[in-house]
Structure 1
């Protein structure tokens, strides 16, 4: 039911409807100079929103709808870390769009927001930001809260990060591990990663119980949430649970490190006296400074894992053994990650095969 009345010098329409719970609601809008304009606007609303509760919902701010959406569809489905990422997106939405209502989010306004976000973020991050918002708005589209998808054909850009080497050469890797002060927390973290290929979360999740110095191995059975500080977590995959063999020098350095630092029961050995564990940005900064001091090209901390695997492959260690050492779920993951190295080694193997055959035939 629609009614019209004049309020001062302008006209207002009022539409009565039942919400999803059967309760009567009213949708009002005023400010029309002529009654005919109010009638036209009311008709348009009824055409666009056959379910008038959706029209009311379109008044909700984007950030509010997004928060409700992640709490309903994501909170009990994804991991805590992934849900934190969705919450971070909510914060960015508010910073960019403020309290902008769903009905006022046009394609132009959305693209302006994406462009603003892209000024300070890499293209991959912008793409993730866009995908999360789009998934939410497609839900609003299905519910007919909005009549069109403002994210459709959005152009994704981002700042270009300077290119960084992925791996160190064997020579530079050797120089690095020989010049690390393994009594210091940050440099011991770098050392462990360089000689084991462990992931950062696995390294900083180590406790004194994870070392078997007599047999010479490190046990990887958990990780540490250094980003969101939720404590110990499960490993990335079941195959990430493994034992990594270490050499005598690594055993010696670890023993010396443990003697110099005091730990509480089941406390990570790389947690400082203020109960802080370095986040990825901090350890990457430490690694960069160390590499610069040694005049070695920069790599990321994760590059130490790639370096370790690459060196083992070049030195003739089988792909299967490298795969198990890295904790990959299957050998295919290792083969695809290090395909370029494997192809080089296969080329060398072909030369060896020909040489063997030549010698045999002579």
Structure 2
């Protein structure tokens, strides 16, 4: 594998290879005025250096090459979360391609593996896998390890997510909210989702300082990385930084929860004594159990966000206000996400318009 780097005013090439003992080594040389000169020199060395034969021949497996590729090009150069995604791709590639060598992977084999992966994964996940593998394989072509691109014109397949959002109706929402024990951490998380429509990462990223009791507001200016446990992160978008107003009853419940939990100003509201913040799978398990007990149809935790938005829209709150409350980057995001609800409301508005204009019935 070859990488090129500009050091000052000159270019350097670095070749990673496996020697006859199976150990990884590097060859590097600098002093080239142009990148093209470094490329030519690296190519010449690859064609003449005896220890590079195994790599050049394409006998290395795709998985082995991909692991070396992400170690050289991605480790320490992308965020930890992004690097974890590359490692996930490596795991999927290992399951799909096994010990297949780079030179053995044809377009037909590659597409067959994508199709296999797509049977159990969303189209978006398949696309991510393909994008990362393709970037790696294109570098293998640049290094002349293989001569053709098996990923070219690959068809992205996968399971399409259901179009209709799963949410509760107003009566189901009221029943759930009324039966939550807000002295319990998990049920308070669910309660806040019900009355604010906040994302899970935003809720578990709340500190005591983010709650203003006198104004009955929650200030969202960060999220908590509950998945990879890297601490606080930026909000999803700039518009996700916002202040959400809540009703007095909810404000009182939250103040009681804080007092009962003996939390101080900078404490996370939902970190337990063992410094653990519940992950999405844990909160979804609690929610599922609660809904089952109340004989309410099951929805996911994210469905509470959709429920909140849907209820507000049905109750006549403007799309702009709902958009700002949810922290969407634009009103068009809200409109496209809740198009089916907006269309239903439009039909109701048309009936109102006809009724207003029908002066003969006055």
TM-score over 0.5 for the pair: yes
Q: For the Cα contact (< 8 Å) 1:205–1:222, is it kept in 2?
A: yes
Q: Could you tell me the TM-score, scaled by structure 2's length?
A: 0.78
Residue aligning to 1:64: 64
Q: Which has the larger Rg? A: 1
Change (3 A) 1:329 1:54: farther
Residue aligning to 1:337: 337
Paired residues for 1:182-221 under 5 Å: 182-221=182-221
- Say which SS state the counterpart of residue 358 (structure 2) adopts: helix
Residue aligning to 1:254: 254
Cα separation, 2, equivalents of 1:257 and 1:274: 18
Change (3 A) 1:24 1:277: same
Deviation at 1:221, TM superposition (A): 0.4
Change (3 A) 1:351 1:165: closer
Cα separation, 1, equivalents of 2:95 and 2:161: 23
Number of positions where the alignment pairs a residue of Structure 1 with one of Structure 2: 323
Cα separation, 1, equivalents of 2:301 and 2:211: 22
Residue aligning to 1:236: 236
Cα separation, 2, equivalents of 1:300 and 1:236: 20
Deviation at 1:79, TM superposition (A): 4.2
Q: For the Cα contact (< 8 Å) 1:19–1:53, is it kept in 2?
A: no
Task: Please give the per-residue CA displacement for 1:175-206, whole angstroms capped at 9, x wherever unaligned.
Answer: 11111111111111111111100001000000
Residue aligning to 1:173: 173
Q: For the Cα contact (< 8 Å) 1:192–1:198, is it kept in 2?
A: yes
CA RMSD of aligned residues (A): 3.2
- Say which SS state the counterpart of residue 232 (structure 2) adopts: strand
Change (3 A) 1:333 1:159: closer
Deviation at 1:81, TM superposition (A): 2.2
Give the stretch that moved more between structures: 329-338 or 143-152: 143-152
Change (3 A) 1:358 1:23: closer
Cα separation, 2, equivalents of 1:23 and 1:335: 56
Give the stretch that moved more between structures: 281-290 or 264-273: 264-273
Deviation at 1:333, TM superposition (A): 0.8
Change (3 A) 1:145 1:232: same
Q: For the Cα contact (< 8 Å) 1:54–1:144, is it kept in 2?
A: no
Deviation at 1:61, TM superposition (A): 3.1
Change (3 A) 1:75 1:339: farther
Cα separation, 2, equivalents of 1:336 and 1:304: 18
Give the stretch that moved more between structures: 209-218 or 257-266: 257-266
Q: For the Cα contact (< 8 Å) 1:165–1:297, is it kept in 2?
A: no
Q: Could you tell me the TM-score, scaled by structure 1's length?
A: 0.78
Give the stretch that moved more between structures: 215-224 or 145-154: 145-154
